[in-house]
Chain A
Amino acid sequence: MSFKTASEGYVKYQGLGNWAFVLHRLTGLGVILFLAIHVVDTAFVYFAPDLYKEAIALYRSPLFGLGEILLVLSIIYHGLNGLRVIYFDMVNPNMWTIEINRKSVIWTWIITLVLWLPAAVVMGSHILEHLGG
């Protein structure tokens, strides 16, 4: 019906698949937003090298650091969930059963966390290292 109705469902509807989808959408949108910015700022190296330095400085702020940790989370989750969907949809539709779907969603979350946590630690320690100066 509308964005309003949809958001009510995204938030309130009870179902693992629902949340897997909402997260996939949010992470996809998050990543493309970042990517657009990232392409433009990287392009500064050619178009405006001076601005590039400022951009890099911005990236090094702690807030951006946290954002970057989330970005990595997003790419890991979106990628894994995307592969899950691609596999079920294109290779083996027989996997689309309630049992397998629930399990695969949960495993996607587990693997996401397993891959992301070490990355978050590494990246977090980088931030901490540079906090002082």
Chain B
Amino acid sequence: MQVTLKILRYNPEKDAQPHYERYTLDAEPTDRILDVLEKIKAHEDGTLTFRRSCAHGICGSCAMRINGRNRLACKTLLQTLDTSKEITVEPILGLPRVKDLVVDMTTFFDNYKKVMPYFVNDEPLPEDGRERLQSPEERERFDDTTKCILCGACTTACPTFWADNSYVGPSAIVNAHRFIFDSRDRAAAERLKILAGESGVFRCRTAFNCTEACPREIDITKAIAEVKRAIITGRLD
């Protein structure tokens, strides 16, 4: 079958403004958008630029706007889209453009680093040198937010973030949640303090774009609500 992709192109060395270009080519219904982009790059236009690595939704490289919503190019099959119409492919919104579908992720990672996204527990280790114990229920408590691959689809779908990059964004909150609710961790209070501030969870307007965008199907808005609740009540359950 034939598909047409309408891709937002931008080369800072040549273009003052981004513009759309259309590519029509043969494809299979089971092709991923990433496969189509690869075909274009391989055979039609080698200058088309995008990030990719794993090709199966696990590395987080290929977040882009496909038909107006954030998705992973490698997890979006043509058969899930209406291929009788043009498919619009644009870079994720809210971060500086670098080239074509590539944006500068620096702010995204800086925001991630602001929430202490790492395990903290300075208490002595178990005497026998073995693992700290954790019940299966305690482990389950934060399972959902351990799945994050830092693809940025959520944060760059968030209306607050579009307007204000200083908002840490849903992805950072997800990663804070992963530790706040880990029974072994001891820095929940510090993280919650950061998140209670001007750039934290209370900037979330519950727009829900983040959850809709998450390729790992993390219930992001719920996680954010749980963090808000932990700040308000001081309870971590």
**A contacting B, Cβ–Cβ less than 8 Å:** yes
Indicate whether A96 sits within 8 Å of B225 (C-beta atoms), given known contacts A8-B93, A15-B209, A89-B206: yes
The range of chain B's interface size is: 20 to 34
Q: How many interface residues does A have (CB within 8 Å)?
A: 30
B211 interface contact, C-beta 8 A: yes
> Which residues of chain B from 148 to 180 have any CB-CB distance to chain A below 8 Å in the complex?
157, 159, 162-165
Interface with B: A17-25, A40-48, A65-73, A106-114, which one?
A: A17-25
Q: Which residue of B lies closest to A105 (CB)?
A: B208
> A5 to B96, alpha carbons, bound, how many Å?
10
Contact: B222 with A93, CB < 8 Å? yes
Decide if B163 touches A3 in the complex (CB within 8 Å).
yes
- Residue-by-residue, is B226-237 near A (CB-CB < 8 Å gives 1, otherwise 0)? 101100000000
The reply on B186 being an interface residue by CB < 8 A is no
Instruction: Indicate if the CB atoms of B68 and A88 lie closer than 8 Å.
Output: no
- B231: min CB distance to chain A, Å: 12
Q: Does B212 contact A (CB under 8 A)?
A: yes
Which residues does chain A contribute within 8 Å of B229, judged by CB atoms? 90, 93
A-B contact pairs, 19 of them (CB 8 A): A1-B95, A5-B94, A6-B159, A6-B162, A6-B163, A9-B159, A13-B157, A13-B159, A15-B208, A17-B206, A17-B209, A20-B208, A24-B205, A88-B206, A89-B225, A94-B222, A96-B225, A98-B211, A98-B212
| Chain A residues with a Cβ under 8 A of chain B | 1-3, 5-6, 8-10, 12-18, 20-22, 24-25, 85, 88-90, 93-94, 96-98, 101
